[in-house]
């Protein structure tokens, strides 16, 4: 069976060599190169395309988020696995939105790192529970900000703001009723009230108005 070909992108050379030593203890993996930043990783890939890139976030010249975006644009089949010391939710979301297959912290153990590379290569998304919780928290904060805006600008009640955001996210009337344990009639009444407060006469117009303020 062919080995999984891995490129490491990390500006800390000693650390990168240590990662190479760790993952090459697996018979299933070979490291095909070490790049000191995103730009060098892209340059190296022109001659030797890996299966998986282990990508640091903060690097000179081209950081890991930008490099991930560039790699996925040119080599969509290559999996990018972020391996960094930073668990900032902005970094996590930016990396995932730009095509990363997962996000790991450098305090991970050797066996877990090897397993993560294999799973990434197989098509899995790698998000340890600590990272997943940060994403959920970040999403909640965005949702809370939107609810506050709707209540402040249009005088929506807590429940109306909640339903307005569900409309914005594409939920149907029936799905809203089911999720909030309301009758469909009650759900429709809330939606009518939302349209009136937003000075809109349709779902499309309400969504457009919300897009303008978010």
Residues 116-164 pLDDT 10s: 999 999 999 888 887 887 777 777 777 788 999 999 999 999 999 999 9
Domain residue extents for the chain? 4-127, 134-213
CA angle in degrees (0–180, nearest 5) for 115-116-117: 90
pLDDT at 138 (0 to 100)? 73
With beta carbons less than 8 A apart as the criterion, state whether 210 and 164 touch.
yes
SS3 58: coil
Asked, colleague to colleague, whether 4-127 and 134-213 share their fold, the answer is no
Q: Where are the alpha helices (DSSP H) in the chain?
A: 13-23, 38-45, 64-74, 89-97, 110-121, 129-154, 158-168, 173-179, 184-197, 203-213
pLDDT at 41 (0 to 100)? 97
**What does the pLDDT look like over 161-210, one tens digit per residue?**
999 999 998 888 888 998 899 998 999 999 999 999 999 999 999 999 99
pLDDT at 141 (0 to 100)? 77
pLDDT at 164 (0 to 100)? 96
Q: What's the predicted TM-score (pTM) here?
A: 0.66
pLDDT at 185 (0 to 100)? 93
CATH of domain 134-213: 1.10.10.10
Q: What is the mean pLDDT of the chain?
A: 92
Range scoring the smallest mean pLDDT among 23-32, 68-77, 113-122, 123-132: 123-132
Do the strands 52-55 and 29-35 form a parallel or antiparallel pair, or are they unpaired? unpaired
pLDDT at 27 (0 to 100)? 95
pLDDT at 87 (0 to 100)? 79
The CATH superfamily label for domain 4-127 reads: Response regulator (3.40.50.2300)
The band of 40, judged by pLDDT with boundaries at 50, 70 and 90, is: very high
């Amino acid at each position: 069976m062919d080995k999984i070909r891995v490129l490491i992108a990390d500006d800390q050379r000693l650390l990168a060599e240590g990662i190479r030593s760790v993952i090459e203890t697996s018979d299933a993996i070979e490291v095909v190169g070490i790049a000191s930043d995103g730009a060098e990783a892209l340059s190296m890939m022109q001659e030797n395309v890996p299966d998986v890139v282990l990508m640091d976030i903060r690097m000179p010249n081209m950081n890991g988020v930008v490099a991930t975006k560039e790699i996925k644009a040119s080599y969509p089949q290559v999996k990018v696995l972020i391996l960094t010391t930073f668990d900032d939710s902005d970094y996590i979301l930016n990396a995932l939105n730009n095509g990363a297959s997962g996000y790991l912290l450098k305090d991970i153990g050797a066996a877990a790192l090897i397993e993560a590379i294999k799973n990434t290569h197989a098509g899995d998304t790698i998000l340890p529970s600590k990272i997943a919780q940060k994403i959920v928290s970040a999403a909640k904060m965005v949702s809370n900000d939107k609810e506050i805006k709707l209540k402040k600008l249009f005088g929506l009640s807590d429940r109306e703001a909640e339903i307005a955001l569900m409309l914005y996210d594409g939920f149907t009337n029936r799905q809203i009723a089911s999720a909030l344990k309301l009758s469909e009639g009650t759900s429709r009444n809330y939606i009518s009230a939302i349209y009136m407060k937003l000075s809109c006469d349709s779902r499309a117009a309400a969504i457009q108005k919300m897009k303008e303020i978010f």
